[in-house]
Amino acid sequence: MLHTLALISIVVAFACAFGIAMDELRRPQRMGVMNIVWPVTALYFSVFAVWAYLRFGRAKPKAEQRPMQMGGMQDMQQNKQNQDHPAPDWTEIAKGTSHCGAGCMIADVCCEFSIAAAGITLFGSMLWAEYAIDFAAAWALGIVFQYFAIRPMRHDLSAGGAVLAAVKADTLSILCFQVGMYAWMALTYFVLFPAPHLTPFQPAYWLMMQVAMVLGFLTSYPMNRWLIRRGVKEGM
């Protein structure tokens, strides 16, 4: 039963990601990195990501879009800062949280298979190896995604300055994301499937990972709200 449920969940999630990606070919995001973030988000939020994309993430068709130069992006940022209500909208927070979520999801897919195939362990456990390697990869990818969100909006920063800003914006966000994610992974490893443990070569493993990612999103959301409100992280 769990195997079947996992297969259905995975297939639906991939279909949602594919549908968003195909729609973005006709309606590319004005912030280029979101063309990756939205489909990757669908890999764990599934149909809810499609709803969010259609509700507040879908761009206009190419023919109706005006090119946005760096100065235009800066104007948009300045307009946000000049609004009467400085608290970020929940959609801004959700899209900001999805940045670190995308980094975590890609890191998970790449690292989990590699760790399992190579039989890598830390302190005698594969779980601790997954924690360490996944975090390093997710942190690095999260910074990359954040860099490409900051760079178009802050042309006053040098490349190095944008990297530093990305590190400041994403480090706490990633840490909070891992709190929810790793807690569920530990529950799965020690309680739900203590022996035999699930492996990345089983569909049920990725169903559990989808749940972990959603919980990570929820634990990271308050931190992203604080980071955006303080101006450490850019609102989308």
Share of the chain above pLDDT 70, in %: 89
* Whether pLDDT at 235 is above 80: no
Cα–Cα distance for residue pair 236/146, rounded to 1 Å:
11
Nearest CA to 56 out of 77, 41, 66 is that of 41
DSSP codes, 13-54: HHHHHHHHHHHHHHS--SSTTHHHHHHHHHHHHTHHHHHHII
Q: What is the pTM of this model?
A: 0.86
143-196, pLDDT tens digit by residue? Answer: 888 888 777 777 777 878 888 888 888 899 999 999 999 999 999 999 999 988
Tokens 């900051």 belong to 150
Position 99 scores a pLDDT of: 85
195: left (phi over 0), alpha (psi -120 to 50) or beta: beta
Amino acid at 91: T
- Give the DSSP letter string of 68-125: --HHHHHHHHHHHHTSS--SPPHHHHHHHHHHHHHHHHHHHHHHHHHHHHHT--BTTB
Evaluate if residue 72 carries a pLDDT over 50.
Answer: no
Report pLDDT for 168: 85
The span from the first CA to the last CA of the chain, in angstroms, equals: 40
pLDDT, tens digit, 9 for 90 and up, residues 78-112? 444 444 446 788 999 999 899 889 989 999 999 99
| Percent above pLDDT 90 for the chain | 61
pLDDT tens-digit readout, 42-64: 999 999 999 999 999 998 887 66
CA gyration radius for the chain? 18
- Average pLDDT over the chain reads 87
pLDDT of residue 22: 96
Q: Identify the pLDDT of residue 67.
A: 57
Can you tell me the distance from the alpha carbon of 156 to that of 146, in angstroms, rounded to the nearest whole number?
16
Cα–Cα distance for residue pair 147/141, rounded to 1 Å: 10
Q: Hey, what are 191's tokens?
A: 């309680």
- The residue-averaged pLDDT of 219-232 equals 91
Per DSSP, 55 falls in state I
